[in-house]
Amino acid sequence: MLVTSLATFGNGGFASLFSNLNADVFYLNQKRRLNWGIGAFRLAGTFEERETETLYDEKSTGVYGALRFPFSRFTRIEAQSRLEYSDRTDLFGRADLPGSGRRQGVLSSNFLSFVGDNALWLGAGPIDGMRWNFTGGVVTDLTHGAFENWTGITDVRKYFRTSLQSAVAVRGFAYVSDGTRPRPISIGGSWLLRGYPVFTEVGTRVWVANTEWRFPITEYLTLGFPFGAVRFPEVQGAIFNDLAQRWNEDFNDHLVLGSAGVGLRMPLIPGIVLRLDVGRRYALNGDYGFGPSRFVDFFFGYDY
């Protein structure tokens, strides 16, 4: 099995689409019970840590190997080892932060995951069952002989069916990273906290809670044209609410961010959907800080 992904974004010019190119190619051999895989990747972009007032540019290129052993049809254990060259430059920010400035070096990453998945899918996404992933790992800076960080990730998703084609989807996500240079993640964007700009709301400790009621609007739609009839796939509606918090070891404003609204989903190919969400941002205990509260989000990928 061969899996590829390609993404990019612009931040000030056409040339930035190439400099911010992100790509991943992964081959998985499933001939035996013990699956093995190899892959290569490139990650690049300019990121903002609003809590620490740090803007940094990071580019990394590397290779990785993976082993997967299924305990049953629904559970498995995964191990991944990655070797990458990373070039990170803090463009501006607080000088007292651990590892501030520029870091160039070869990083070694080793992760272990315990995965379970018995979800039942419709064209627009899961509608019944449960999915979960518990991951832990360490990263070492081989160039400078330093321990970089350790990371723990929990991602649990449960689907409560309300009818034959509708369900309430609930997800809980938690992330923590610590060490000499903890690796922050962004929760802004359509994948975790809808309505907030991508690459913002960054922290080395985060939690996210997503709730969404999914229901059918049409099973299919056929339109007649002079050249023939075109049949469009199902359209699914959604009512959602997201909550999240992010902080670092030395900074926590205790702000719980949220967004709520309605959306539409249309599957393009099995598992891959085109998603439109319209809603409002809010904060439980302060100001979300992004101008108008209303937002419109477009998303292309698989739904949680």
* Position with higher pLDDT, 51 vs 216: 216
187-237 pLDDT, tens digit per residue, is 888 888 998 887 678 888 999 999 999 999 987 777 777 887 777 788 899
Domain around 117: 57-301
pLDDT in the model for residue 39: 94
Q: Does residue 97 form part of some domain?
A: yes
- Determine, yes or no, domain membership for 115: yes
- pLDDT of the residue at 24: 86
The reported pLDDT for the residue numbered 299 is 79
Q: Is the pLDDT of residue 55 over 90?
A: no
Strands (DSSP E) found in the chain: 2-7, 22-29, 35-49, 54-70, 75-92, 102-117, 120-122, 125-141, 146-163, 166-178, 185-186, 202-203, 205-218, 221-225, 228-232, 235-247, 257-269, 272-283, 294-301
Instruction: Report the distance separating Cα 174 and Cα 153, nearest Å.
Output: 6
Let me know if residue 131 belongs to a domain.
yes
For 60-98, how does the pLDDT look when each residue is reduced to its tens digit (9 = 90+)?
899 999 999 999 989 999 999 999 998 877 765 544 444
pLDDT at position 290 is 61
Residue 36 located in a structural domain = no
- Tell me if 50 is assigned to some domain: no
If you count them, how many residues does the chain have? 304
Quick check: 155 pLDDT over 80? yes
Q: Between the CA of residue 72 and those of 54, 95, 114, what are the distances in Å? A: 45, 50, 12
More confident residue, 78 or 3: 78
pLDDT bucket at 54, cuts 50 / 70 / 90: low
Number of domains the chain is built from:
1
> What local confidence, expressed as pLDDT, does residue 92 receive?
58
Specify the pLDDT at position 168.
97
Q: What is the mean pLDDT of residues 248-274?
A: 83
Q: Is the pLDDT of residue 35 over 70?
A: yes
- Beta bridge mates, 116: 75, 132
Share of residues in the chain with pLDDT > 90 (%): 43
Res 53 pLDDT > 60: no
- Using 50, 70 and 90 to split pLDDT, how confident is the model at 105? confident
Task: Identify the DSSP state of 18.
Answer: H
pLDDT at residue 273 in the model? 84
d(CA 158, CA 193): 18
Averaged pLDDT of the chain: 84
**Residue 118: which pLDDT band, with cuts at 50, 70 and 90?**
very high
Find the CATH number of the domain harbouring 225. 2.40.160.50
Kindly state whether residue 43 falls inside one of the protein's structural domains.
Answer: no
Q: Give the SS3 label for residue 19.
A: helix
CA distance 191 to 184: 16
Instruction: Specify the pLDDT at position 257.
Output: 93
In a domain, 132, yes or no: yes
Q: Which two tokens stand for residue 268?
A: 């393009």
The structure tokens 């931040």 sit at 11
pLDDT attached to residue 271: 67
Are 77 and 63 spatial neighbours (Cβ–Cβ below 8 Å)?
Answer: no
For residues 261 and 238, the answer to whether their CB atoms sit within 8 Å is no
141 assigned to some structural domain: yes
Give me the pLDDT at residue 96, please: 45
The token duo for 158 is: 């449960």
